[in-house]
């Protein structure tokens, strides 16, 4: 599938999607340094452009006709930002939605801070996307459950033309690991992202990203990492200290052990502890902040999920590189999302039957066996539909009736499958109506999305 990324930054989301198997055909960002880092690492298809200029970019996208458009419009704290910033961000989130609506790719993926879910900007963008025909899966994901050593909660919205809302929810949930990835998982000997190739000269690199082309293999090349391998001195220090400091949010903890994920990386994550924090550290810090390692830029980049050999030098200043790293979608998170999309596109997964369908059928007097049959039939029909869902129930049945394998089934089986789909639809509609009634009784609540977090898991 061919991808265009809007607001591509240094390319975290693009890298993840490429690893999943997508082809990157175009990327845009307004910041020259972001574009330079992107081009150096991912190829010349990135261009500098102001995406507010939808009259120029829209027709270009329509011409490229990508299968998927992705992007993380700038968020800079929707709620914390000043009004001018909020207006600017709102304009860019709207620009993202307009560009998607103009180019009409089959899929889109948008990333943002979770607070965006209750912003006016997203609510307007959402309306545009729904009007343009997209079914939406909105989820709050914790990156530490998707191969990133960092508890970073982000809003991910996946849209596909013609689908029912929530069409990918269960597959995204299923892709999460049971436990969070820790900093030790990343820097320890069992790091899954690295392969060991015996260095030819002392002090030369021995650990290589599993994704980069390995150096020429020699007879001395071997896996796994031998016990006597010396990691980079900074990583050795981190492992030896067993704890690290990151600038705390508000009144939060500054020190964490290696056996937990890092907190969400921000531009100032690797600042040293300030005198007032050293004097009065957080009571739950596992060691005094003066004993904890201060992360290096290379380590922060790896915690954000970039490979060890990612070249940040075109970002020029330390401060800008810190910003580019902090802005990025962690590549392993993007890769996991990309794999879920490709699996659905290939018809390899189907949406799970949601919630209490079985109980609802039981209340209607169906026997346990009939309930099991109904569920099996819904799943069978959905497999025949290659996992596709439909906003309109009539379209769903019509699509099923165009599937050759369905037509070759006995008439009775065909009718059972149709009835099961209709029953399921009836239940979904009843459930939706109940939710609307509940919401209209309660005070208006912001859209909450589905949450996949370490706590929820």
Ligand X SMILES: C[S@@+](CC[C@H](N)C(=O)[O-])C[C@H]1O[C@@H](n2cnc3c(N)ncnc32)[C@H](O)[C@@H]1O
Q: Give least dist CB 46 to ligand X, A.
A: 11
Q: Are 198 and 221 in contact (CB under 8 A)?
A: yes
DSSP 75: -
Q: Does residue 121 bind ligand X (CB under 6 A)?
A: no
Structure tokens at 337: 């999302």
Rounded Cα gap, residues 56 and 34, in angstroms: 21
Q: Least distance to ligand X from the beta carbon of 249, Å?
A: 18
Query: Which one among 182, 327, 349, 389 touches ligand X, defined by CB under 6 A?
Result: 327
Structural contact between residues 148 and 305, judged by C-beta atoms closer than 8 angstroms: yes
Residues in contact with ligand X, shown as a per-residue x/- string from 44 to 83 under the rule CB under 6 A: ------xxx-------------------x-x---------
Q: Closest approach of Cβ 76 to ligand X, in Å? A: 9
Q: Could you tell me the CA-to-CA distances from 160 to 135, 138, 167, 452 in Å, in that order?
A: 5, 12, 9, 20
Binding residue for ligand X, selected from 1, 3, 4, 9, defined by CB under 6 A: 9
Is 336 a binder of ligand X (CB under 6 A)? no
Out of 1, 3, 4, 13, the residue judged to bind ligand X by CB under 6 A: 13
- Cα(320)–Cα(310) distance, integer angstroms: 15
Q: Which stretch binds ligand X (CB under 6 A): 218-226, 262-270, 294-302, 325-333?
A: 325-333
What are the backbone angles phi and psi of residue 321, rounded to the nearest 5°?
A: -65, -40
Beta carbon nearer to ligand X, 2 or 431:
2
Roughly how many angstroms between the first and final C-alpha of the chain, as a whole number? 31
Determine, following the binding rule CB under 6 A, whether residue 100 of this chain makes contact with ligand X.
no
Binding residue (CB under 6 A) for ligand X from 7, 78, 245, 424: 7
| Short-list 63, 64, 31, 28, CA closest to 46 | 28
Bridge partners, residue 255, by sequence? 245
A 10 A CB-CB count for 24 gives 23
Q: What angle do CA 316, 320, 323 make, to 5 degrees?
A: 145
- 22 vs 277, beta carbon nearer ligand X: 22
For residues 155 and 421, which CB has a smaller minimum distance to ligand X in the complex?
Answer: 155
Residue with tokens 């099991």: 372
β-bridge partners, 415: none
- Alpha-carbon span 104 to 246, nearest angstrom: 42
Tell me: does residue 328 bind ligand X (CB under 6 A).
Answer: yes
CB 72 within 8 A of CB 38: no
Cβ distance 68 to 340 under 8 Å?
A: no
Q: Is 34 in the site for ligand X (CB under 6 A)?
A: yes
CA angle 248, 188, 278 (to 5 degrees): 25
Site string for ligand X, 125-154 (x = CB under 6 A): ------------------------------
CB 8 → ligand X: shortest distance, Å? Answer: 6
Region of 232-240, 326-334, 388-396, 409-417 interacting with ligand X (CB under 6 A): 326-334
Selected from 42, 329, 340, 399, the binder of ligand X by CB under 6 A is 329
Q: Give the nearest distance from C-beta 12 to ligand X in angstroms.
A: 3
Quick one: which of 30, 132, 161, 366 contacts ligand X (CB under 6 A)?
A: 30
99 lies in the binding site for ligand X (CB under 6 A): no
Residue with tokens 């507010």: 52
Total residues contacting ligand X by CB under 6 A comes to 21
Annotated active-site residue 75? The verdict is yes
By CB under 6 A, is residue 254 in contact with ligand X? no
Interface contacts to ligand X, rule CB under 6 A? 7-13, 28-31, 34, 50-52, 72, 74, 92, 327-329
Provide the annotated active-site residues.
Answer: 75
């Amino acid at each position: 599938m061919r991808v265009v990324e809007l607001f591509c930054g240094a390319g975290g989301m693009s890298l993840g999607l490429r690893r999943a198997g997508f082809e990157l055909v175009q990327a845009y960002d307004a910041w020259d340094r972001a574009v330079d880092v992107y081009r150096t690492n991912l190829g010349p298809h990135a261009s500098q452009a102001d995406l507010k200029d939808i009259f120029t970019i829209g027709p270009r996208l329509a011409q490229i006709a990508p299968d998927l458009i992705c992007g993380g419009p700038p968020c800079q704290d929707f709620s914390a930002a000043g009004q001018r910033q909020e207006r600017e961000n709102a304009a860019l989130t709207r620009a993202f939605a307009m560009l998607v609506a103009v180019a009409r790719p089959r899929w889109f993926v948008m990333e943002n801070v979770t607070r965006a879910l209750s912003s006016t900007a997203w609510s307007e963008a959402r309306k545009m996307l729904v009007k343009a025909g997209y079914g939406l899966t909105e989820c709050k994901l914790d990156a530490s459950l998707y191969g990133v050593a960092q508890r970073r909660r982000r809003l991910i919205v996946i849209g596909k033309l013609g689908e029912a809302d929530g069409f990918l929810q269960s597959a995204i949930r299923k892709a999460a690991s049971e436990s969070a990835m820790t900093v030790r998982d990343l820097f320890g000997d069992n790091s899954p992202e690295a392969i060991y190739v015996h260095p030819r000269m002392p002090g030369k690199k021995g650990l290589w990203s599993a994704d980069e082309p390995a150096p020429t293999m020699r007879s001395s090349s071997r896996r796994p990492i031998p016990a006597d391998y010396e990691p980079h001195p900074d990583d050795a220090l981190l492992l030896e200290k067993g704890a690290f400091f990151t600038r705390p949010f508000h009144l939060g903890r500054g020190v964490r052990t290696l056996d937990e994920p890092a907190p969400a990386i921000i531009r100032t994550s690797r600042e040293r502890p300030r005198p007032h924090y050293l004097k009065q550290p957080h009571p739950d810090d596992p060691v005094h902040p003066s004993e904890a390692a201060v992360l290096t830029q290379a380590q922060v980049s790896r915690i954000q999920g970039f490979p060890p050999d990612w070249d940040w030098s075109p970002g020029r200043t330390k401060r800008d590189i810190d910003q580019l790293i902090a802005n990025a979608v962690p590549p392993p998170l993007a890769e996991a999302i990309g794999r879920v999309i490709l699996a659905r596109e290939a018809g390899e997964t189907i949406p799970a039957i949601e919630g209490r369908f079985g109980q609802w059928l039981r209340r209607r007097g169906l026997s346990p066996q009939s309930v099991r049959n109904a569920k099996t039939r819904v799943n069978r029909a959905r497999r025949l539909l290659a996992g596709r869902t439909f906003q309109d129930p009539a379209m769903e049945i019509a699509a099923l009736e165009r599937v050759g394998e369905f037509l070759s089934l006995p008439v009775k089986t065909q009718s059972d499958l149709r009835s099961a789909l209709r029953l399921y639809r009836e239940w979904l509609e009843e459930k939706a109506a109940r939710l609307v009634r509940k919401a209209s009784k309660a005070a208006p609540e912001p859209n909450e999305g589905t949450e996949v977090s370490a706590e929820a898991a």
